[in-house]
Amino acid sequence: MRVLRLWMVIGLLAGVMEARADGPDATAMLSAYLRVDTINPPGNESRGVAWLAAVLDKAGIAYETGESAPGRGNLWARLPGGDEPGLVLLNHIDVVPATREYWDFEPLSGDVKDGYIYGRGAIDMKGLAIAQLTAFLRLAASGRKLNRDVWFVATADEEAGGDYGAGWLLKTHGELFDKVGYVLNEGGAGRRFDDKVAVMVEVTQKVPLWLRLTAFGRPGHGSAPQPETAVTRIVRAAQRIGETNFKPRLIPEVQAMLESIAPYQSEDRAALLANAAASIRDPDFMLRLQLEDPGTHSLLRNTCSVTRLEGSSKINVVPPQASIELDCRLLPDQDPEAFIAELTALVGDENVQIETLMSFTPAISGTANPLYRALQAVSEETFAAPLIPTVAGGFTDSHFFRDRGITAYGYSPFLFDPEEMRGVHGNNERVSVENLERGADVLTNLLTRFATSD
């Protein structure tokens, strides 16, 4: 089995390390990496670790690996440098599932066609991982003296919360990162607004609070309806939550973000975003924003989506319990316990219990530091565009590092049209060859500027 797996890795690597004038071929590497099946669940990130390890072996770069559970692999490699706070290039190996019937090509094909590289994970986030890896390999090959350690870290399980990946790595090998001061991860990217460009860098994110609500009632036969059951209770709870818009609030980080992106909007939208404190008090504005731009809308209030429903295993059995699961996302200043109390009052049924499945702590990375200034310089130099600190509606593994006091930014050196981003967790995910190759150059420039001393 090990021999077969080794030959599979060798086959996938064929040709990808053939050096261009400036190093390995990023497009060929991404095409091959996308063909490695690391769909989560179940993950099988150790397959990705084997592929990455073979690349590092060929480059002569030392690394370590570890499995948090069978098949749940993680990899970390370090280029040693001086005493300045170290920098981690962080990426996750797992990707979300894809339903073939809704795609125009095989989701794990890695096809390169018409200037694009196709496959699940092309944007989220194997494309960024390969841009990071290319820059890391170039830095190693350059022989330049480093003023700090530079890490390449690839982890498991981000798409399911990161407990088997970044969470496990920091819990079991946290001492590795004692000298680390900075992390670059997913979460931000360059955006086109018609003929204008802005580069978004994520500095904080809404806090996920995943909940299971379980209702209890008397079981029975489906042929003899009861006035109230576990199912009717949980359906009523789901309806109340689903129909509730939580109070709009404007936190300072979101206000600064909206004011910064206002000049890139249409004239009427620009005025509303620039004066968001007043705009959010207008229900018509909030509804229009939710319909036209649900991502921005979600940054202006706590949200809950009902995503799972479970009842009886048989159509003719009234079950003793039924449950729903909620994906709630809280503004960073929201107390989770206070929010759960608010939900409890909203449901208003003592026969419905609320259980917390996952919750993170909020954290914000400041911008008064050398890495942020280097990002600003590279953004202006490459895209002639400002760097805008943003708040992410989703979560990433950055919070694990922020909890340790490490500055972490969501930064991708790619420039996307709005249409391109629809492939993230959607159908026909792809990244352009231009984005990938330029992105690798941008990160190489950034590492040279920030991490070398000669």
pLDDT tens series, the chain, 454 aa: 333 344 344 455 544 554 455 567 999 999 999 999 999 999 999 999 999 999 999 999 999 999 999 999 999 999 999 999 999 999 999 999 999 999 999 999 999 999 999 999 999 999 999 999 999 999 999 999 999 999 999 999 999 999 999 999 999 999 999 999 999 999 999 999 888 999 999 999 999 999 999 999 999 999 999 999 999 999 999 999 999 999 999 999 999 999 999 999 888 889 999 999 999 999 999 999 999 989 899 999 999 999 999 999 999 999 999 999 999 999 999 999 999 999 999 999 999 999 999 999 888 999 999 999 999 999 999 999 999 999 999 899 999 999 999 999 999 999 998 778 888 999 999 999 999 999 999 999 999 999 998 7
Domains of the chain from N-terminus onward: 2-187+396-451 (3.40.630.10), 207-359 (3.30.70.360)
Cα–Cα distance for residue pair 212/238, rounded to 1 Å: 11
The pLDDT of residue 22: 55
The pLDDT of residue 24: 78
The pLDDT of residue 3: 36
Question: Regarding beta strands 196-205 and 190-193, do their DSSP bridges make them parallel or antiparallel, or are they unpaired?
Answer: antiparallel
The pLDDT of residue 303: 97
Helices (H) and strands (E) in the chain, counts: 15, 19
pTM for this prediction: 0.89
Task: Give all strands of the β-sheet with 116-118 in edge-to-edge order.
Answer: 112-113, 116-118, 430-432
Q: How many CB atoms lie within 10 A of CB 282?
A: 13
Q: How many CB atoms lie within 10 A of CB 135?
A: 26
- Please choose, from the candidates 174, 119, 201, the residue with its C-alpha nearest in 3D space to the C-alpha of residue 389: 201
Cα–Cα distance for residue pair 286/289, rounded to 1 Å: 5
Helix (H, G, I), strand (E, B) or coil at 316: coil
Cα–Cα distance for residue pair 373/386, rounded to 1 Å: 11
